Amino acid sequence: MAKYDLYNLSDSVLFLSKEDFYDLIIEICGETEANLIRIQGIQNVQSFIRCKDYFQILNIDCEEVDKLKSVACFQSRNGDYVVKQGIKLNLDNLADALKTKHEKFKKQKKNSTRSSSNSNNQTSCSNDNDISLRQKSNETTENTNPSSNISSCTIDSSQLNWKSVHDHIQFIQDLIEKFSQKIFHSTILKNDQHYNLTVTQDNSNLKALIKCQCGAKLVLPCRSKTKTFVLSNYYAHLTTTNCYMVDCVNKEEKKNKKEIQQSSSNSISRKRTNELINSSETDTSLNKKQKKN
Q: Name the phi and psi angles at 231, rounded to 5.
A: -105, 10
The pLDDT value recorded for residue 139 is 46
One domain for residues 137 and 253: no
The pLDDT value recorded for residue 36 is 94
Residue 153 pLDDT > 60, yes or no? no
One domain for residues 185 and 97: no
Tell me what the mean pLDDT of segment 32-59 comes to: 92
One domain for residues 33 and 139: yes
Partnered with residue 217 across adjacent β-strands are 211
Closest CA to 184 of 253, 235, 233, 242: 253
Share of the chain above pLDDT 70, in %: 77
Q: Which amino acid is at 185?
A: H
Residue 6 resides in a domain: no
Residue 125 pLDDT > 70, yes or no? no
Provide the 8-state DSSP code for 52: S
Q: Which pTM value belongs to this model?
A: 0.42
One domain for residues 72 and 173: no
One domain for residues 180 and 141: no
Question: 160, 175, 191 — which closes off a domain?
Answer: 160
The pLDDT value recorded for residue 91 is 93
Residue 146 pLDDT > 60, yes or no? no
Residue 126 makes CB contacts below 8 A (sequence gap 6+) with none
Domains held by the chain: number: 2
One domain for residues 15 and 25: yes
Question: 141, 160, 179 — which closes off a domain?
Answer: 160
Residue 144 near residue 196, CB atoms below 8 Å = no
Burial of 237 (0-12, 13-18, 19+ CB in 10 A): buried
Residue 117 pLDDT > 50, yes or no? yes
One domain for residues 222 and 151: no
- Domain hosting residue 281, numbered range: 162-293
More confident residue, 41 or 206: 41
Most confident of 139-148, 204-213, 260-269: 204-213
Tell me what the mean pLDDT of segment 235-251 comes to: 87
One domain for residues 258 and 282: yes
Question: 116, 135, 160 — which closes off a domain?
Answer: 160
Per-residue pLDDT tens digits for 200-227 = 988 778 889 999 999 899 999 887 767 7
Determine how many CB atoms are found less than 10 A away from the CB of residue 30.
Answer: 16
Share of the chain above pLDDT 90, in %: 30
Q: Which amino acid is at 87?
A: I
Average predicted confidence (pLDDT) for the chain: 79
One domain for residues 282 and 213: yes
> How would residue 288 be classed by pLDDT, with cut points 50, 70 and 90?
low
Per-residue pLDDT tens digits for 16-31 = 999 999 999 999 999 9
Concatenate the DSSP letters of all residues of 148-206 into one string. HHHHHHHHHHHHHHTSSHHHHHHHHHHHHHHHHHHHSSS----BTTTEEEEEEEETTEE
One domain for residues 46 and 175: no
The pLDDT value recorded for residue 1 is 53
Residue 55 resides in a domain: yes
Flag the least confident range among 87-96, 125-134, 195-204. 125-134
